């Protein structure tokens, strides 16, 4: 029986699910339910969802391997693009209401406030990933170079966590929780890479020994 994860409808369902945070924001805006400071509310919600989507995207490979669910890979691109989508909304709420679309003022602020510098770095790193997320770009770059480039998502997630940690004054539990999750995911990757590297080194040695043993 084909896995439900391979179904087109599961993809449609996940796509709609990813739009729920936006739907809630739009609904709250339409019903004037964004609190005393609507811009701040949207800024915080979109910042939170950017980080959540980054982490969820990073979970795909370990979950795919550990749970033996190869079809999970079909959702990675969509989830990564949703991280970028919410990052764009987050950045726009800063560039528009905060900086009145004044790019010179924005650059000054990016240079002056370290937490903004870090958020900006996290955002900029996602741009090449979003651009090269298509099958055409995988072909053009070649699988290996494409994979190397897409490791930037880890740096982006680390910058995103530091951005969050630096902006909160005292409630550090949430940014530290994200930091722990990103660290675990990174360490898992490192472990997985080391195991695969050892196997590749061991494989030719085994092949060389084989004729002598047989």
Q: CA of 158: how far to CAs of 3, 28, 33, 132, in Å?
A: 33, 30, 32, 21
Q: Considering only the stretches 1-9, 112-120, 127-135, 202-210, report the one whose residues sit in contact with ligand HEM under the rule CB under 6 A.
A: 112-120
The minimum distance between CB 185 and ligand HEM, in angstroms, equals 15
The minimum distance between CB 118 and ligand HEM, in angstroms, equals 8
Query: Nearest 10 degrees: CA dihedral of 119, 121, 122, 126?
Result: 140
Which helix (H) or strand (E) segment holds residue 54: the answer is helix 38-66
Q: Is 21 in the site for ligand HEM (CB under 6 A)?
A: no
Give CA–CA dist 110/164, Å, rounded.
Answer: 15
Tell me which DSSP letter residue 7 carries.
Answer: S
- Which residues in the 131-190 window bind ligand HEM by CB under 6 A? 156, 160, 163-164, 167
- Which residues in the 42-101 window bind ligand HEM by CB under 6 A? 43-44, 47-48, 50-51, 54, 87, 90-91, 94
Residue 8, Cβ neighbours under 10 Å: how many?
Answer: 8
Binding site for ligand HEM (CB under 6 A): 43-44, 47-48, 50-51, 54, 87, 90-91, 94, 116, 119-120, 122-123, 126, 156, 160, 163-164, 167
């Amino acid at each position: 029986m084909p896995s439900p994860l391979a179904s087109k409808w599961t993809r449609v369902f996940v796509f709609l699910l990813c739009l729920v945070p936006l739907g809630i924001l739009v609904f709250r805006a339409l019903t004037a339910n964004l609190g005393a400071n609507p811009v701040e509310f949207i800024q915080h919600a979109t910042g939170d969802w950017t980080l959540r989507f980054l982490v969820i995207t990073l979970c795909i490979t370990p979950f795919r391997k550990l749970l033996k669910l190869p079809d999970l890979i079909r959702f990675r691109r969509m989830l990564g693009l949703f991280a970028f989508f919410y990052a764009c909304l987050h950045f726009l709420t800063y560039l528009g209401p905060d900086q009145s679309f004044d790019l010179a003022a924005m650059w000054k602020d990016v240079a002056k406030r370290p937490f903004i510098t870090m958020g900006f770095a996290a955002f900029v790193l996602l741009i090449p990933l979003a651009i090269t997320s298509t099958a055409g770009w995988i072909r053009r770059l070649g699988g290996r170079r494409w994979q190397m480039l897409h490791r930037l998502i880890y740096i982006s997630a680390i910058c995103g966590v530091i951005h969050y940690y630096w902006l909160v004054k005292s409630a550090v539990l949430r940014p530290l929780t994200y930091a722990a999750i990103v660290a675990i995911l990174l360490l898992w990757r490192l472990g997985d890479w080391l195991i695969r590297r050892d196997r590749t080194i061991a494989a030719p040695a085994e092949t060389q020994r084989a004729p002598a043993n047989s």
